[in-house]
Structure 1
Amino acid sequence: MVRKVQDDKDVVRLPPAKHDAYFIHDGVVPHLRVRIGTGGAKSFVMRSRFGQAKHPTTRTIGDANRMTIESAREIALKWNHLNRKGIDPWEEAILAELEDEKFRRRTFANALEDYIATLPLRPQNRKADDDGRTLRREFLDPKRIPWLEKPLRDVTGADIQRAIQAIRDRPARTQAFNVYSLIKTFFAWTVTPLGMEAYGMTHSPVATLKNSTMKLQRNVATRKHTSDEIRAYFAACDVMNYPMNEFLRAVLLTGQRKNEVRLAEWSEIDMANKIWTIPAWRFKMDRQQPVPLSVPMLQLLGRIKAAQGDRRGPFIFSRNDGLTPMPFNGCDMDKFRAKLTEIFLANNPEAKSPEHWTLHDDRRTVKSALSNLGVPEDVSEAVIGHSKKVLEETYNKNSFKIQRRRALHMWAEEVKFILDDPDHSLEAEENIVPDWPSRWNETDPARPSK
């Protein structure tokens, strides 16, 4: 009989015990043995002082008739390694199982809800509520996502790709582009050090997934209002209820973002100096935004102040005298678009209905009009609240307050011109040849005699 087993053949050749079980040492790994019982039962065991134990004990690794000696040696090596650290392998296995169970309970749905809860805390994220609603609608609906309760670690790139492509094929290409950006940021959050500790992630499943792979592309909006649409816009405001009518006028007169206008407070308005200062915490670029008040904006604020009375709350655009900001929903915008279209077609019977538009097109209209009126690019960008380019931001510290005031005054006068003169057109002005004086128009001047 062999004194030490070297391979599986040696294990097979070991004869059954006649009376009591006996042990044969392994010839490679210390403390590993083969236990041979009566009737041909054989098992791999390890005898050692496990963890912090004072006395050696014997523990079974596995059935020697079913597992190879190499598998038994691999386990015995791990146990020896843990013993040298004073760690009991069984305790370690129990902890590992508990840890694994913890990660199994950390499902995709739970992790995504954890992430959504952090969105309002992220710097410069003023779309936290919108992003949260989008993620819940597209990735927490069991009808759309059958693997909601899958452990986060087990979610694959293919799972995400199929979900994104399903949005694309609805069809909703822009939505798919935006949602992919959101879910990619979520997975980047899960592979930060704290994320890996909490969810057991080792890599992002969408790290190699690209927009081009899924044929996603952002729609680049280029639409702006025509002069006829601006006339219809203000006429439609006249039939809308307060405060929606004044809010819509303010968006087009100032060129600011809809929520920056909707959430405006009286404390931000300096009527004496005719300026509205949007605070940094409420402005997308995380800096103060001065908005000079043109004559129609001052008139608009005066009407609202008179309507709200002396006991008004902090908000300008409000349905309860300023106590809370006015709500804004798609139904209100659909009603306004329908009214604008009705007025536009009544005034322009041969024209087609205006294409679908959003309030963001107001900002593009203001920016285009300012450029058409000769306002410098950096000033028009400042008016609508865009950041300067990096080099410009570094060296040009001018806030353009005077230039902004002049630009918004010019835009207000242009709007008045459009409303008063049905023939006035922003588009036509681009082709008008100015009648400027020029020395070239003079007749041949008399040359001095020699």
Structure 2
Amino acid sequence: MKLSDAKCRNIKPTEKIQKLTDGAGLYLEVKPSGAKKWRYRYRIAGKETIFTIGDYPTISLSEARVKRQEATELVKEGKHPTTIRQSRKVKNEWESVNTFQALAHEWIEKNKSKWSENYKRQIEINLRRYVFPSIGKLPIKSVESAHILVIVQKIEKQGVDKRKGKKGSPSIALLVKQWCGAIFRYAVVTLRAEYDPAAPIQGAITRPRVRHHPHLEGPELSGFMRALNAYEERGMRQTIIALRLLLLTFVRNGELRLAIWDEFDLENAIWRIPGERMKMREPHVVPLSKQAMQLLRELKTFTGPFGFIFPNRSTANTAMSNTTINRAIEYMGYKARITSHGFRGTASTVLHEHEWPHEIIERQLAHAERNSVVKAYNHAQHLSKRREMMQWWADYLDEIESKVLEVD
């Protein structure tokens, strides 16, 4: 006779264990302590086994019958319900640990040595802002392409900051998709995901037109040198030296601002920039022209011989502000016509026009070589040829400036 809820609820414990049968292997076990448990008796390969379904009344009679039926289906397939439940428990525990957010943090930790601090911070901020609220707590295996598509489309439409009037940010959307893809690929190679769900949505976001840093063409240099000479009458000498060194070395703004005196070998006219300050995270060597050396020796009388070559005048133990040089360019009347980064484009254009070898120019610009064979070959850095080119570039600028001064 089948059980009823009333009978299960009202049965009193005795000194011995009682078993109330419901049929098809299901019974309610009542212990002397009063505890009641649902159990299911079954056979596989002629061997009888007991599967504990759970406690009553936490699991009601109707729920116990459903779970009994599920267990019966497993038994028909030759599977032990206890083994399956243990496997599911392990899987659930594994998934609760291997969430998208957990894998993202692990991926960042593994790769951060290859990135600049600014790039690492950019990744963390955008993942925290756009991705983690949607899929951060999901097991990484359960994240689908549709999740990623919704996230990147939302970024594309909403933009980064509504208060600043931005209507959309396809550039950030593409970066977020790229980072998500890298996290999934990391999960795949560490056997915690089976595929990259970001891959199928390739092309879903329209790639924005690349906007290069404003830079001057060769013929415009004479006007800039005239403005620079005029600015020297009212500008801070250290800022003027920074401007001239950027023009002479065409390194990036941050590579110059954050330079310290220990990086300079003035005896051999070499500046060695450590990899952690370079965009591609590889050390870079800058041969110094005679003109650059003269400026550095002058600068050393102001700020040397220890610490930053361009210390911040207002805040101790910090470098010159990242806006100082661009602000000076604005004062010279060149706002929107060139930025501190634009000196690189100007130098590259002029050097190519004067038929200096492309690989020498690219090496001096510290651009990454994608071809691994060529990269290995270029490891020698072509230092003697680059030294010759840098001196030519400095003399070329001197010649332009001399002509400007003659006219004035």
Q: Deviations over 1:113-141 (max 9, x none)?
A: 444344423xxx232x2223223332313
Post-superposition Cα deviations, 1:327-355, rounded to whole Å, max 9, x if no partner, equal: 544x44653353233xx4xxxxxxxx644
> Which residue number in structure 1 is paired with residue 137 of structure 2?
150
2:200 equivalent among 199, 205, 208: 208
AA at the equivalent of 2:206: K
TM-score, length-normalised on structure 2? 0.70
Tell me which of 265, 269, 273 is aligned to 2:264.
269
Aligned residue for 2:176? 179
Q: Contact 2:181 / 2:198 at 8 angstroms: preserved in 1?
A: yes
Partner of 2:295: 300
- 1:6 maps to none
User: Following the alignment from structure 2 to structure 1, what is the Cα–Cα distance between the partners of residues 196 and 224?
Assistant: 47
Residue 242 of structure 1 deviates from its aligned partner by: 6.4
Residue in structure 2 matching 1:319, options 309, 312, 317? 312
| Contact in 1 for aligned 2:249/2:286 (Cα 8 Å) | yes
Q: Distance in 2 between matches of 1:398 and 1:16?
A: 86
CA 390–98 in structure 1, closer or farther in 2 if over 3 Å, else same = closer
Q: Does 1:401 align with 2:390?
A: no
Kindly state the Cα deviation for residue 301 of structure 1 after the two structures are TM-superposed: 0.7
Matching residue's letter, 2:147: D
Of structures 1 and 2, the one with the larger relative CO (CA 8 A, separation 6+) is 2
Output one character per residue of 1:246-272: Cα deviation in whole Å (capped at 9) or x when no partner: 333322211223333233332332222
- What SS does structure 2 have at the residue aligned with 1:46? strand
Which of 112, 118, 132 is the equivalent residue of 1:120? Answer: 112
Q: Deviations over 1:42-75 (max 9, x none)?
A: x9933469xxxx9954645985996499744333
Structure 2 distance, partners of 1:94, 1:68, is 15
2:148 alignment partner, one of 141, 150, 160: 160
RMSD: 4.4
What's the CA shift for 1:375? 1.9
Q: 1:130 aligns with which of 105, 114, 118?
A: 118
Q: Whose helix proportion is higher, 1 or 2?
A: 2
Give percent identity, aligned residues only: 21
Partner of 1:256: 251
Which residue is 2:395 aligned to?
Answer: 413
Distance 2:403 2:279 in 1: 36
Matches within 5 A, 1:336-355: 336-341=328-333, 344=334, 354-355=336-337
Q: Which runs of 5+ in 2 are unaligned?
A: 4-18, 29-37, 55-60, 158-166
Tell me the equivalent position of 1:382: 363
Name the counterpart of 1:435. Answer: none
Q: Residue 95 of structure 2 aligns to which amino acid in structure 1?
A: F
Matched residue SS, 2:185: helix
SS of the residue corresponding to residue 45 of structure 1 reads strand
Given the superposition, is the C-alpha separation of residues 262 and 298 from structure 1 closer, same or farther in structure 2, using an over 3 Å criterion? same
Moved more, 272-281 or 144-153: 144-153
**What SS does the corresponding residue of 1:150 show, helix, strand or coil?**
coil
Deviations 1:21-49 (A, max 9, x none): 66876xxxxxxx4669xxxxxx9933469
Give the direction of change, closer, same or farther, for the CA distance of 1:390–1:305 in structure 2 (3 Å limit).
same
Counterpart CA distance in 2 for 1:168 and 1:235 is 44
Letter in 2 for 1:265: I
Q: Give ranges in structure 1 of 5+ residues lacking alignment.
A: 1-14, 26-32, 37-42, 345-352, 425-450
Q: Distance between the aligned counterparts of 1:282 and 1:419, measured in 2?
A: 31
Deviations 1:288-311 (A, max 9, x none): 5332211221122112211125xx
Amino acid at match of 1:151: L
Which letter maps to 1:305?
A: K
Tell me, in whole angstroms, the C-alpha distance in 1 between the residues paired with 2:122 and 2:329: 24
Equivalent residues of 1:255, 1:384 under 8 A apart: yes
Q: Which amino acid aligns with 1:266?
A: W
Corresponding residue pairs, total: 361
SS at match of 2:204: helix
Residues 274 and 298, structure 1, Cα contact 8 Å, conserved in 2: yes
- The correspondence for 2:186, drawn from 177, 184, 189, is 189
Contact 2:261-2:308 at 8 Å conserved across structures: yes
- What is the alpha-carbon distance in structure 2 between the residues aligned to residue 340 and residue 45 of structure 1? 87
Q: Which residue of 1 aligns with 2:58?
A: none
CA distance in 1: counterparts of 2:21 and 2:183, whole angstroms: 58
SS of equivalent to 1:290 = strand
1:133 and 1:231 map into 2 onto residues whose CA distance is 39
1:75 aligned partner: 74
How many angstroms apart in 1 are the aligned matches of 2:329 and 2:360?
30
In the TM superposition, what whole-angstrom CA distance separates every residue of 1:354-377 from its partner, at most 9, and x where no partner exists? Answer: 44x543322111111112233222
Q: Using the TM superposition, give the Cα deviation of residue 243 of structure 1 relative to its aligned residue in structure 2, in angstroms.
A: 4.8
2:7 is aligned to none
Q: 1:334 to 1:108 in 2, by over 3 A?
A: farther
Does structure 1 residue 365 correspond to structure 2 residue 346? yes
Match of 1:221 in 2: 212
Determine if contact 1:231/1:418 at 8 Å carries over to the other structure. Answer: no
- Work out the CA distance in 1 between the residues paired with 2:184 and 2:257: 33
Max Rg structure: 1
Is contact 2:272-2:286 (8 Å) kept? yes
Cα drift, residue 219 of structure 1: 1.0
Q: 2:237 and 2:155 mapped to 1: Cα distance?
A: 37
Where does residue 446 of structure 1 map in the other structure? none
